[in-house]
Structure 1
Amino acid sequence: MSQPATPPLPEDLPCDYSQPQVSAVDASTLPPTNGEAIIIEAPPPSEAPGPGVPARVPHLGHAILFVSFAGFTLLVSQALLLGMSHATTDPQKLMTAAAHPKLLVGAMAITYVLTLIASFFVFPLLWKRSFSNGIQWDFDIARRNAWKLIPIGLLVGFLVQAISSLIPVPKSIPMDDFFRTPSDVWLVTAFGTLLAPIFEEITFRGFLFPAFAIAYDWLSLPRTPAAREHWHNTTGLTLASIIFSAIFSSILFALIHAEQLAHAWVALFVLFCVSLVLTTVRVRTRSVASSALVHASYNLSVFLTLFIATGGFRHLERLAR
Structure 2
Amino acid sequence: MSHPSTPPLPEDLKRDFSQPQAPAVRPIAPLPKEVEAIIIEAPPPSVAPGPGVPARVPHLGHAVLFVSLAALVLVFTQITLLGLSHPVADPHRTANAALHPKLIIASQAITYLVTLGISFFFFPLLWQRSFADGIQWDFATARRNAWKLIPIGLITGFAVQAISSLIPVPKSIPMDDFFRHTSDVWLVTAFGTLVAPLFEEIAFRGFLFPAFAIAYDWLSLPKTPAARERWHNTTGLTTAAIVFSTILSSILFALLHAEQLAHAWVALFVLFCVSLVLSIVRIKTRSVACSTLVHASYNASVFLTLFIATGGYRHLERLAR
Deviations 1:223-245 (A, max 9, x none): 11000000000001000000000
Amino acid aligned to 1:45: A
Q: What is the alpha-carbon distance in structure 2 between the residues aligned to residue 288 and residue 241 of structure 1?
A: 18
The TM-score, its normalising length taken from structure 1, stands at: 0.85
Matches within 5 A, 1:132-281: 132-281=132-281
Deviation track 1:140-180 (CA, whole Å, cap 9, x = no partner) reads 00000000000000000000001111110000000001101
| Structure 1 residues 239-293: Cα deviation after superposition (integer angstroms, max 9, x where no partner) | 0000000000000000010000000000000000000000000000000000000
If you compute each CA radius of gyration, which structure gives the higher value, 1 or 2? 2
Matching residue's letter, 2:42: P
Root-mean-square deviation over aligned CA pairs: 0.9
Q: What code does the residue aligned with 2:43 have?
A: S
The count of residues paired between Structure 1 and Structure 2 equals 278
| Cα distance change of structure 1 residues 308 and 47 upon mapping to structure 2, 3 Å threshold | farther
CA 1:266–1:297 in 2, change beyond 3 Å: closer, same or farther?
A: same
Structure 1: gaps of 5 or more residues: 1-43
Distance 1:266 1:96 in 2: 29
> Match for residue 37 of structure 2?
none
Please give the TM-score of this superposition, normalised by the length of structure 2.
0.85
Question: What corresponds to 1:52 in structure 2?
Answer: 52
1:306 corresponds in structure 2 to 306
Structure 1 position 47, deviation (Å): 3.9
Please state whether the residue corresponding to 1:45 is helix, strand or coil. coil
CA contact (8 A) 1:254 1:272 kept: yes
Q: Is residue 110 from structure 1 mapped to residue 107 from structure 2 by the alignment?
A: no
Please say if residues 306 and 313 of structure 1, whose CA atoms lie closer than 8 Å, have aligned partners that are also in contact.
Answer: yes
Please report how far the alpha carbon of residue 63 of structure 1 lies from its aligned counterpart in structure 2 after TM superposition: 0.3
Mapped to 1, the partners of 2:201 and 2:143 lie a distance apart of: 16
User: What residue in structure 2 maps to residue 100 of structure 1?
Assistant: 100
Pairwise CA distance, 1:89 = 1.9
- TM superposition shift of 1:95: 1.2
Of structures 1 and 2, the one with the larger relative CO (CA 8 A, separation 6+) is 1
Q: Secondary structure of the equivalent of 1:137?
A: coil
Distance 1:52 1:83 in 2: 50
Matches within 5 A, 1:73-92: 73-92=73-92
| Kept in 2: contact 1:47–1:129 (CA 8 A) | no
2:164 alignment partner AA? S
Distance 1:47 1:141, change over 3 A: farther
User: One-letter code of the match for 1:290?
Assistant: C
| 1:17-39 deviation digits (Å, cap 9, x = unpaired) | xxxxxxxxxxxxxxxxxxxxxxx
SS of equivalent to 1:171: coil
Superposition deviation, residue 209 in structure 1: 0.2
Measure how far apart 1:91 and its partner are: 1.6
Question: Distance in 2 between the 1:275 and 1:133 partners?
Answer: 22
User: In the alignment, what sits opposite 1:129?
Assistant: 129
Deviation at 1:105, TM superposition (A): 0.7
Does structure 2 conserve the Cα–Cα contact (< 8 Å) formed by 1:45 and 1:54? no
Q: Please say if residues 48 and 128 of structure 1, whose CA atoms lie closer than 8 Å, have aligned partners that are also in contact.
A: no
C-alpha separation in 1, matches of 2:212 and 2:222? 18
Q: State the SS of the aligned residue for 1:222.
A: coil
Offset at residue 53 of structure 1 (A): 2.7
| Deviation at residue 90 of structure 1 after TM alignment | 1.9
Give the residue type in structure 2 aligned to 1:262.
Answer: A
2:142 & 2:150 partners in 1: Cα distance? 10
The one-letter code of the counterpart of 2:129 is R
Q: Which residue is equivalent to 2:62?
A: 62
Distance 1:56 1:45 in 2: 17
Q: In the aligned structure 2, how far is the partner of 1:56 from the partner of 1:238?
A: 13
Contact 1:54 1:232 in 2 (8 A): no
In structure 1, distance between residues paired with 2:44 and 2:296: 32
In structure 1, distance between residues paired with 2:45 and 2:74: 33
Give the gaps of 5 or more residues in structure 2: 1-40
DSSP-derived class of the 2:55 partner: coil
